[in-house]
Structures are given as C-alpha cells and as structure tokens.
Structure 1
Amino acid sequence: MSKSEYNTEDFVLDPEFRKWVLTNDPEAKRYWEEFLSTNKSKIQEVEKARKILIHLSQERFALPDSEIDLQWNMINDKIDHMEGLKRQTKVVSLDSWSAIQHHKEQSRQKRKRNFIRTAVFAFSALGCFIFAVWFQSQKFDDTQEVELSYETMEVPAGVKSNYLLPDGTEVTLNSQSKITFEKNFSGDIREIELVGEGFFDVAEDSLRPFIVKTQQVSTQALGTAFNIKAYPEEPISVSLIRGSVLVTNSEVSDFKEKLVPGEEMFATLDNSTWIKGQFDLKQALAWMNKTLIFDKTPFITTVHSLEKWFGVTFTFENDIPKNLFVTGEFKDESLKNILDGMSYSSRFSYTIDGKKVNLKFKP
C-alpha cells in the first residue's frame, strides 16, 4: 500500500514512522517531512498517529498475568482436544520397530505442540498490540487531557552548558540559567520556559511552532537562532541572529513585535519601557565566547555579572562611590585578573576567600 493511502492506524504500525516519532532519526525525519510537504491532506492523521505513539511509549502496554495464563490454558485445551481426536482413531502396534516409531512420533508431536503453542501465543500478543493501538486511536481525543511529564535542565553559577533538545534544537545556557519543557514535545507546540539567559538554534518543524516563555514575554519562532536574557529582577532582552521571531507580552494584550536579524527587543520588568532597535552581535553573544564586555556599565551591575560568571558572592566594607562605571573587555580571564584590572580605575582593594570576595574602596 502506498503511504499516501495510509490512515492513522497504518502510520502507527509503520516501522519508519515509529522511528521518526520515537527516536528522532535524521533520515526518517527528512523522509517524513518531505512526505508531509507533498501530502498535506495527511497532516492531521500524521499528527494524531504521532500523539498515539508518544502516549503508548509513556504507558507501555502489557498483558496482565491472569490474561497470559488464560491464553495458555485456551491454547493447551485446543491442542489437547485435537490430540484426543487423533488418539480415538489411531492404533499403535507393540512390536519393537513400531514402538521406536511411536516414540519418535511422540517426540515430533511434542515439538509440534510447542511450536503451535509459541506461534499461537505470538500471534495473540501481536493481536493484543494491534488491538491496543486501535483502542487508543478510537478513544484518543485532541481535547482529552493527558498527564504530561516535564524535563528541567539547569546550569549552576560559574558554568555554561550546551544541550540538544528532543526535536534537534541546540540550546546553550549561561550561568545560573534553566529551561523546563514537556518531555518529547508531545503537544502541538514546542514550548520552553527559560529563567536566565540562553541561546537557541531552533530545528525547523512546520507542524509545531517553537515558543520560549520568559516571565510575561513569549518569543515564537519556526526555524531561527536568537538569544534571550531574562534573569530575575533584570530587564528582558530578545536578540535575533537568524530567521524571524514574534515577541508578545501576556500583560499587554495588543503588543506584538516581529523582529528581523540584527534587531533586539528590550523590555523592563514593569512593562513601562519597550524598545526595539539594533544590537551589537559581539556583545550579545560575548558570553558564549567566554568574554565579558562592560561598556560604561554601573559598578553594581558589573558585580552581579561577575557573581553569576564565576559563582561567587561579593561583600563591601564601605559604600560604592556614586556614578562609578566600568568599561573593559575580558576574554577567558580569571576573576583575579579582572579584579586587578578594575581596581586601578575604580580604586579598591580586594580579597578572595574561596567563593567569597570582599571589596574595600579607597578614600
């Protein structure tokens, strides 16, 4: 049968389709995406089959022990009945040759019985699986709520990590950041919740939009690359590197902004300021290149950046001078080297004790 003639059950039972859904095999992915581009009428059935498979993979179907015993008893009874009919008409000779042949026949019959028993049970198991698939397809309703499971990937202070999501999207998380998402992306959308800063190189999937939620701001993309910075108690920024994204705000109903490469959306936490403009690519992605860049940055903001970057805590023996700003670029430098460089222009001394840094400003 041509796959263009498949119904939902056919897709579920197709080995290559199962490989695409359950293992995200690259070759299978390419094949089925090409199939969908030329068979758009099958998109709804493909999506339904995909949900059934994911649901089945989370709830492994297995026959209960009582049902297995019942199946075996039925098989044995049927075989015994067939053997009984044969014994009613069979006459066994008692001469030595016949006795030998009789024992051989018994051995053959025993092997035959075992083969029949195994074959019947195998077909019964296959029938149960097909029934389970059929039953799932009959009862499955898009409006039915299915218990979902979620995964969280978290990066501690002083660390940066790369991850590959189930759909092939590549994520790089900055220090003190985490993402939470539905396991296997089984829904109609690929939704990520981000706290902190992350760079997303999104895998294309025309069936399911990719959405990153950061507090009240949502960023939607299909196939693109962008950076989002959304640490608690800090302004949110969305910087688009490639493709296009749509930025919305759950607290501002009529707010929608589409960004093109090179554009950035900046928002304060209280929604009082929304700025759309160009951004410096080098500065936006500096953290991915192990580089800290400060450009007339308030000193306290610089300190917070160093705390996240190195996983340390700063304390101050006296007040930070007013209107103190920091400018400089530090690539893959140690905390000591950075503080040495800053101390000359900012006029402070410091001590480092493990994960604690103490600063004292000179009069």
Structure 2
Amino acid sequence: MRRYAASTGCFVVPTGSKVSANSELEWRISTSLAERCLLLNLNITQIRCYVVLKIILKSFPNPQDEINISSFMCKTVLLYCIENTETSAWKENNLFTCLTYCLLELHSCVQNDHCSHFIIPDNNLMAGQFTAETKHELSKYICEFIQNDGQRLLGIDIDDLGHRLQVKLNRAPHGVYYFRSSLEISEHVLTVGYKDIAHVISDCHQFVLDNLHSKNITTMKQSVSKLMTFRDNGNRLQHAAFKFVAPFLFTTYGSALASSSIVENNQVTPEELVWLSAGLNSDITSSRLKLASLFYSTGDMEKAELILRHIEQQYDSHPVAPICRCRETPTLTVTAEFKRVCCEQSEDCIKHITAFCVRLIYTGRDELCSL
C-alpha cells in the first residue's frame, strides 16, 4: 500500500494558503490518489469512527458558523491515530475507545493550531482556520465529549445517531420514537391515530366487498341493517363506528342495487339514489366515483362529467392521502400537509383528507358497477 501511494504522483490545485500574503499566486499540492488508497483500506470500525467524528463536529453549536474543521482534517486525524496504534485495537467492541483517541488527537491539534498533512507534514491544515473565541469553544466542546464517557453522543439528533446508539446499547427498543417537543408528540399521535382509523374503515369495507364478490347481497343488507341499530341504539363507540363506516356501506349497497336495475331496465331507481347520496361525503373520491360510474353505465354522460369535474376540483394531493385495500395490507402515504390537518382538526376531517380506492366489476351485461 505504501509503495502504491508513493508511486501515484500528485496534482496541483490553484488554491493558496489562508495565511499567505500571495495566496492568489500559490498552488496547493494534492495527494488525493494516495489518500484514496489509504481510505479504501480502512476497516469498518475505522470508517465508523470517522463518520461519528464528523457527526460530532457537525453538531457543534456555533452560531457564527465559523467552525472550519473539514472532513479532510477528520480523515487526517484518523490516519495519524491508526498509524500510532496497533491494528488489533480497531475492533467493533472497542469503537468508543478509538473514537476517544481520535477526539484527544483532534483536541491537541485545535489547542496547538496545528494539524500536519498526513503525507506532506510541513503543510499545517489548521493554519489561520480559527478565531480565538471559536478555538476556545471548540476545545471545550470536544472536552465535554471526552469527559462524559460518551453520554453526549446519545443526545445527537443528526442521522438519528443518539437513538441508534441507545438501541445498540439495549437502552431503547427498536422502533421507539424520541420527540423534542410536545407538538411533535401530538402530531405523531394524531397522525398515527387518523391513519389507523382509515385502515379500519378500509378493512370493514373490504369485508363487505368480499361478501359481495360471492354475490351475497343479503349479507350486505344484513350488515347495513346491523349498522343502523348502532346509530339508533348503540353506545358512544358504536355511534363512532357508524359515523365512519356507514357512508361506505351505504354507497356500496346502493351501487349493488343499482347495478341490478341497470341490467334490467338501464336506470337507477330513486331508492338506490337515496342510498348513494347517504354516503356521498364518505371521502374525497370513492363515493362520487361510484355514482359517476352508474351514470356512465346508464348513458347519462353529462351528470357523469359533472361529478368527475367536481372530484378533480376537490382533490388536492398535498393534504389528501390515497389509501388502497386491493393489496394484502392497506397503504396510506402521509405528507406534511396531512399531518398539519390532523393536528388542527377533529377526526371528522378523515373524509376530507383521504381518497379510498374503488373496485369496478362487470354486472353481466358489459356494464360497469363501481364498489
């Protein structure tokens, strides 16, 4: 590796030293090929050490953004530490010790304003990089990481480092969320709750469609009748179930009845329209698509077009989340706008921010019925 690095040569780059009076006339020697060779031969613990070192410096709370410890300096410090220790020390179970060693080396460089280039030692990478105030704050920050036995690492949010370390140390279960504010907690709880409501609605509707697929219209009628008893005689939870699920069953039941009427006499009866209208506001799309498909099947293109235009005007892809139950599990994509609506409105907003899928089936006379 040393022979290869020595034989690769170097580049010159038109970049001068920050502390030189003639920086615009100077060129910097670049040994990037040799450095690439060295980095490609790092083991996984050395790479992890380098990444965590960069994250620690990235989390440095400098309001003036004056920190100038570059990735190149981190790599240089790491290479010196590797050179000065036994290879056997760089193992996964010794990661924190290796990281501490790198931090000590970096602290020494900051204190002395000197970090020698690994291949060209006369080149000081830290020359003119820090003000006295930044140097003091940076030294203090690095010392805190060294002195508290790694506890500061558990509080770093960048790349979710703190939580991942807690999982690694068995201090937290996988999948646990850590929130910085009560607003984040409420946003997460409400969003998950509304997603679950949408999934349950989809599951209930899927059960009815499965029965309909076996042409058991009577079973669907019984489901609708049972749901009506929830509305009239049920408790608070049953009332809530009725409120969410009933509109979907009404439009599905109305569609099933209307499909039979269309086959027989190519029209939809007033009773069937009542059932369809009762669930018209179930969500943004599905109930209206069912109605539009029935008008299409009877040849009433004007009403079908009117309904489709209304859907197009109402559908806003930012807050509205499409949910599909045609697959094994329902899918619902959550956007930032969806979360905002969940936090600002009651659960009744489900019908304004979800778009359920519609199943199209043939009724036996080359006509479509949407369920």
Using the size of structure 1 for normalisation, the TM-score is 0.22
Looking at secondary structure, tell me which structure has more helix per residue. 2
Question: Whose RCO is larger (CA < 8 A, sep 6+)?
Answer: 2
Using the size of structure 2 for normalisation, the TM-score is 0.22
